[in-house]
Structure 1
Amino acid sequence: MNFISTRNNSPAASLSQAIAAGLAPDGGLYVPERLPPKRELSPGSNLAETAADLLAPFFAGDRLGGELAAICDAAFDFPAPLKPLATPRDLVLELFHGPTAAFKDFGARFLAQCLARLRRGEDRPLTILVATSGDTGAAVAAAFHRVPNLRVVVLYPDGRVSPRQAHQLGCFGDNVAALRVAGSFDDCQALVKQALNDAQLQAEAPLSSANSISLGRLLPQMGYYAHAALAHRAATGNALNFVVPTGNLGNALAAILARALGVPLGHIVLATNANRVLPDYFHGRRYTPQASVATIANAMDVGAPSNFERLRWLYHGDDEALRASFTASAVDDAVIREVISRRFEEHGEIFCPHTATAVRVLEDLRASGQDGDWAVAATAHPAKFESVVEPLIGRAVEVPPALNGLLQRPARAEPVPASYDALKRAILA
């Protein structure tokens, strides 16, 4: 299968070429020339098996095709359990059982496995650039830490991630450098895109991306939606609907693509924080990127979601059809806090701010009469946001062992301005 740019001004690329490049030469995002036809999928014995079966058409004929099963086995070696919530027919898909306690561990580890294989025998290291609003950078750093012939430069907005997130971002060292940028996530993302499109810089230091703009991050995220939905249908006979907290749209797009491939997913509803670009669009306004707003659900503090290009591509640029297919709701900080506090008091449930955002949207759906089986995508462990969660529930949140191990390491991040020259210096250092 070949892959093309969403902007239709770059040559077609193989899957391996698209994964290695990260971004298409014309600045667009790689998408398949055409989606594989829908097919009847069966629940695999484990998550890795389900993911490999779902991804097989994308890897067919590629140099990585023969290694897909091994890549999935190495990347998906921790669970993504689907558990019931206290309210009937409501569930939560826990995506935070990986090494950095966030859903982004899945895609980051898959991408690292792919690139480690693609870089065998290369005489120069590949530098992975990643902009993060909280969780992506740590997942990428953990996945690529000490992988031969690969290095990582993480950019994050200084003061706009939680203390534990910041510590994770700077605790790896070795082949991982963390830059705390005097700006917003959108500034970090714009710098990464500028570097990836700088041919002169690429000639001096080969670059790729590990944000959700990377196919190697996006495609594997379909796996956990497929595994959960297929298992749920086998157990109940019902399709599973989802509320997905979203910032850059990668996680939600993975669910949307999985459904397009035949996975028995029903409705997919987007939940955002006070950054209202997507809710405004789905309520009929023109898509207009804005400066991001800082919130307590900081991983969703995105004012220009990159994967919107892919979503529009999927719907052939038809805004009317796209708006008819999805809804998106915004939840502000006060309501997020109220949900965290109330759900713990009433049911003993503990959510991170992003998961609480989706829980509130699900509550609103139920109040409006929505029926069926619904799951919330729980994107991070609440212990990553102890400064928000613990005062609201009045107790400490137990820290998972893997996360606790990272927090015991010393951490360092270099302060830099939101300047392309500063980023270039860091890359070439």
Structure 2
Amino acid sequence: MNFTSTRGNTPSTAIDEALVAGLAPDGGLYVPESVPLLQLQPGATLADTAHAALASYFEDSSLHGSLAAICEHAYSFAAPLRPMSGEGDYLLELFHGPTAAFKDYAARFLAESLSRLRDDGAAPTTILVATSGDTGAAVAAAFHRRPGFEVVILYPEGRVSPRQAHGLECWGDNVRTYRVAGSFDDCQRLAKQALSDESLRQSMSLSSANSISLGRLLPQVGYYAHAALTYHAQHGQALNFIVPTGNLGNACAAFLARRMGVPVGDLVLASNANDVLPRYFAGEDYAPQTTRATLANAMDVGAPSNFERLRHWHDSDMELRAAMRAQAVYDSTITATIRDAPQRHGVVPCPHTATGLHVLEGIRTQGDRRPWAVVSTAHPAKFESIVEPLVGHAVEPPPELARTLSWPASAESLAVDYAALRERLLRR
């Protein structure tokens, strides 16, 4: 299977080349030329389900024979579907990886894939990643001390939690971190500009690990397939999902899983005050906006990149709006939801998960009794300064997160200036 650009100005591309490139040469995002309709079987492990879901995309890849091993590495920790207090209410916990966020699965998949695609003796590849809080740490962990790779992280200074910032700055070795004096959208624009700079790419090997990368999109299909297939086998119903979203990568994966024939029911996107998507799905024109800082900072995105993929997969705005819906959840409601969640739902959520819980509460108030899973994107201990005062007790970080929190951390400051970034990329 080959891949094309959402912008239509890139030749049909093999998956190995698309994985290495990250962004298509015309500035678009890679998508499969066709989406396979699969008959996946329940009862397999998470890694086996992911392998079965991804095999068609890799049938012509040099990675085809090692895809099972790549999946075993990427999905070596659970993604449990946990019942909550309400009947038919579930939490899909995606925070059991090394950096306690859902980004760990795809980052590890991408790192293992690019390592196997790398030619011995080739110049080091720089993985450039813009992050709104969690992506950078997951990518850093996945590529840390991997021979032949360097990582450059761009994150918006002052707009991530203290523990997220530490997780972005604590790696050293082959990982460099820059605090950017701007928003996530500024970081993302800088990264895209570098990835589209042909003269820069002639001087160095450069790739992406943001959700614009095909190597981030495809692996995320795995945990949706596993959760939905397991639930359907046990209950005979499709499982509906509420996906907290900023840059739309995780939501695109849920949509792709459904298009592939996985028994995924309705999809609802939970946004924060950056309400570009809720406004669009309510019928307004798609209109990127200046990013607003919120408690759910990893969703602070005013121009979600993966909207381009969603539009590519639909013939009209009407068709896309029929495929899913979106709701904005503001800080005051996030706060109240975190405070009430232990009693109401039996869980302690991070601020992003709290947006999904609030959307679920509204769905139940409207009388919907179908099964719903809220996608829990990060461990609440990454946001202890927000969560702990609201729930009234300490939230212990998982062991791997606690280990990295004990490491020293450092980063350089960077203006929102492409020339400055370019100079730093070349200074390696």
Superposition TM-score tier, normalisation by shorter sequence: over 0.9
Cα distance in structure 2, aligned partners of 1:147 and 1:203: 23
The residue identity in structure 2 corresponding to 1:193 is K
How many correspondences in the alignment?
A: 427
User: What are the superposed Cα offsets for residues 47-86 of structure 1, whole Å, 9 maximum, x if unpaired?
Assistant: 1000000001100111111111011011110000001011
The structural deviation recorded for 1:293 is 0.5
For the 8 Å contact 2:91–2:374, the answer to whether it is kept is yes
The residue identity in structure 2 corresponding to 1:324 is A
- Secondary structure at the aligned position of 2:256 is classed as helix
Q: Return closer, same or farther for 1:240/1:99 CA change in 2, 3 Å cut-off.
A: same
| Aligned residue number for residue 28 of structure 1 | 28
For the 8 Å contact 1:245–1:358, the answer to whether it is kept is yes
For the 8 Å contact 1:242–1:269, the answer to whether it is kept is yes
| Aligned residue number for residue 393 of structure 2 | 395
User: What are the superposed Cα offsets for residues 247-277 of structure 1, whole Å, 9 maximum, x if unpaired?
Assistant: 0000011000000001001001000000000
Unaligned 5+ runs, structure 1:
none
| Aligned residue number for residue 328 of structure 2 | 330
Q: How does 1:369-388 map to 2 (within 5 A)?
A: 369-388=367-386
- Secondary structure at the aligned position of 1:4 is classed as strand
Cα distance in structure 1, aligned partners of 2:38 and 2:64: 19
Cα distance in structure 1, aligned partners of 2:51 and 2:342: 37
Q: Return closer, same or farther for 1:179/1:214 CA change in 2, 3 Å cut-off.
A: same
| Aligned residue number for residue 153 of structure 2 | 154
The structural deviation recorded for 1:120 is 3.2
Structure 1 residues 113-122 or 344-353, which shifts more? 344-353
The residue identity in structure 2 corresponding to 1:85 is M
- Secondary structure at the aligned position of 1:55 is classed as helix
| Aligned residue number for residue 228 of structure 2 | 229
The residue identity in structure 2 corresponding to 1:220 is P
Decide which of 323, 347, 350 is 2:348's aligned counterpart.
350
For the 8 Å contact 1:180–1:414, the answer to whether it is kept is yes
For the 8 Å contact 2:278–2:326, the answer to whether it is kept is yes
The structural deviation recorded for 1:297 is 0.1
| Aligned residue number for residue 199 of structure 1 | 198
The structural deviation recorded for 1:41 is 1.2
The residue identity in structure 1 corresponding to 2:26 is D
The structural deviation recorded for 1:324 is 1.5
| Aligned residue number for residue 17 of structure 2 | 17
| Aligned residue number for residue 176 of structure 2 | 177
The two structures, once aligned, show a CA RMSD in angstroms of 0.9
The residue identity in structure 1 corresponding to 2:357 is V
User: What are the superposed Cα offsets for residues 215-266 of structure 1, whole Å, 9 maximum, x if unpaired?
Assistant: 0011000000000111111111111000000000000110000000010010
- Secondary structure at the aligned position of 1:421 is classed as helix
- Secondary structure at the aligned position of 2:211 is classed as coil
Cα distance in structure 2, aligned partners of 1:343 and 1:65: 43
| Aligned residue number for residue 6 of structure 2 | 6
Instruction: Determine if the alignment matches structure 1 residue 62 to structure 2 residue 64.
Output: no
Unaligned 5+ runs, structure 2:
none
For the 8 Å contact 1:345–1:393, the answer to whether it is kept is no
Cα distance in structure 1, aligned partners of 2:254 and 2:328: 19
| TM-score, scaled relative to structure 1 | 0.98
The residue identity in structure 2 corresponding to 1:18 is A
Cα distance in structure 2, aligned partners of 1:192 and 1:201: 12
For the 8 Å contact 1:167–1:411, the answer to whether it is kept is yes
Instruction: Determine if the alignment matches structure 1 residue 102 to structure 2 residue 124.
Output: no
The structural deviation recorded for 1:39 is 2.6
The residue identity in structure 1 corresponding to 2:342 is F
The structural deviation recorded for 1:344 is 2.1
| Aligned residue number for residue 120 of structure 1 | 119
| TM-score, scaled relative to structure 2 | 0.99
User: What are the superposed Cα offsets for residues 275-308 of structure 1, whole Å, 9 maximum, x if unpaired?
Assistant: 0000000000000111110000000000000000
Q: How does 1:168-317 map to 2 (within 5 A)?
A: 168-316=167-315
| Aligned residue number for residue 139 of structure 2 | 140
- Secondary structure at the aligned position of 2:52 is classed as helix
The structural deviation recorded for 1:34 is 1.2
Instruction: Determine if the alignment matches structure 1 residue 47 to structure 2 residue 46.
Output: yes
For the 8 Å contact 1:111–1:217, the answer to whether it is kept is yes
The structural deviation recorded for 1:425 is 1.8
Q: Percent identity?
A: 62
- Secondary structure at the aligned position of 1:243 is classed as strand
